Structures are given as structure tokens and as C-alpha cells.
């Protein structure tokens, strides 16, 4: 099965998000990835519920997943749900009430997910496999751009599938490039976050870049 490419909104021109969302939609991408960051959990500042709301109001036939890189994500999950997010994912490493927050997301009828840094063990996912839709694996250390893919990621994808009995999807964020995308898909990745190395690569238009990554994934 071909992996779904979800376009990273933070990699768009922030003055022309609507234009870039439309370019993605015109090229066949309808999944979009939002990165809230507080400058503390990761060394960058990120995105807001208002951006989710804007995209949903202007382009209702979109799927938006939210990757909360926040010190206290529980304070903000409801705001992203109210804004229209379809999938909300939290890092397990800084969660004080992970199970309860997963329940909140599910109570909205949305899809819940857990994010794991590269050093985080996957075995605890066994007890959550019926509560989560997706596990997002970081391809490198979060919040720092232009790193190379962590080589152990391919084995970690398989480990997640094994420990959850194949019940959950796997999303990869970081290190997704034209030359790694097919390998990640073949390893079992269901979603690939496409940013400045693929969908918004500086050497091509969105249409050209999407065509290229589709050829990689389907070739």
C-alpha cells in the first residue's frame, strides 16, 4: 500500500499558506501536518490552533494532523480539537496524563496518536494499541532542521508494528527525502511528512515535487 504524504505546513511560505495548501490539493495531497512548538520542548517556535481553523474553513476537504512539541501539551490539545484537527499526536516523553488525553481526543471522534523520539522504547505501546490510531516516529531529533535520517528508524517501524499487532498506523517525521521515502514505505510506514526536502523542495514547484515523490513511492 502506498504511503500517504502529509504536507508540512510550517515548511510553506507563511505569508501564503492558502496558496500553498491549494497547490498541494491541486497536486493530489489532502493531508496536512501542523507543528505547534513552544521553544522549550524543542528549540523552535511553532504553530497555532488558528492556522488549523483557517485551513479547515477555507479548505474543508482536508485532513489535518497535529504534532504537539509542547512542554505541557495537555493545556492545548482541546484548542486544537476545537479548531478542527483530525489527528492529534503527543510525545509520550513529557506526558503526565497520556491515557486521559488520548481519551479526550477519542471522545471528540478524532484520531489519537503518540509521538516517540529516537531513543524512546516502543514496548509501552502494547497497552495503548486499542486507544491510538497512529504512532509518529521521529526520523531525527525534533525541532532541528536539515538532519540526516536516523539509521535505526527502519527497524523501529517494524518494532512498532510488532508490539501493536499491526493495529496502528506509523507516521514518519524528519528525514523523509526523495531517496529515503520508498525505503520507509517498504519498511511499513503508512504516512510520510513531506517538508522542505520533498513537497516544498526549493528546486521544484509543488506540482513537480509531488509528481516526483509519487513516482518514488509507486515506482
The catalytic site residues sit at: 35, 173
The residues that bridge with 172 in the sheet, in sequence order, are 137, 192
Q: Is 67 helix (H, G, I), strand (E, B) or coil?
A: strand
CB distance 90 to 101 below 8 Å: yes
CB distance 41 to 70 below 8 Å: yes
- Burial zone of 117 (CB within 10 Å; 0-12 exposed, 13-18 middle, 19+ buried): middle
Closest CA to 68 of 77, 60, 59, 78: 77
164, three cell numbers: 501493536
The residues that bridge with 65 in the sheet, in sequence order, are 33, 87
Residue partners of 138: CB distance under 8 A and separation at least 6: 115, 116, 117, 118, 150, 173, 174
Amino acid at each position: 500500500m502506498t504511503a500517504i504524504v502529509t504536507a508540512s505546513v510550517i515548511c510553506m511560505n507563511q505569508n501564503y499558506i492558502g496558496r500553498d495548501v491549494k497547490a498541494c490539493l491541486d497536486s493530489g495531497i489532502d493531508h496536512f501536518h501542523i507543528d505547534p512548538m513552544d521553544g522549550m520542548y524543542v528549540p523552535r517556535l511553532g504553530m497555532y490552533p488558528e492556522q488549523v481553523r483557517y485551513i479547515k474553513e477555507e479548505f474543508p476537504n482536508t485532513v489535518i494532523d497535529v504534532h504537539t512539541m509542547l512542554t505541557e501539551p495537555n493545556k492545548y490539545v482541546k484548542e486544537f480539537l476545537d479548531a478542527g484537527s483530525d489527528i492529534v499526536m503527543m510525545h509520550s516523553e513529557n506526558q503526565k496524563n497520556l491515557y486521559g488525553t488520548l481519551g479526550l481526543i477519542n471522545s471528540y471522534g478524532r484520531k489519537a496518536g503518540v509521538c516517540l523520539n529516537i531513543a524512546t522504547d516502543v514496548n509501552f505501546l502494547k497497552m495503548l494499541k486499542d486507544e491510538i490510531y497512529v504512532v509518529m516516529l521521529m526520523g531525527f531529533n525534533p525541532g532541528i532542521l536539515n538532519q540526516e535520517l536516523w539509521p535505526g528508524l527502519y527497524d523501529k517501524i517494524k518494532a512498532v508494528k510488532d508490539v501493536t499487532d499491526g493495529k496502528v498506523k506509523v507516521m514518519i517525521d524528519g528525514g523523509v527525502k526523495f531517496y529515503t521515502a520508498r525505503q520507509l514505505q517498504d519498511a511499513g510506514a503508512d504516512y510520510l511528512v513531506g517538508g522542505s526536502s520533498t513537497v516544498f523542495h526549493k528546486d521544484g514547484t509543488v506540482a513537480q515535487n509531488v509528481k516526483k515523490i509519487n513516482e518514488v513511492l509507486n515506482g
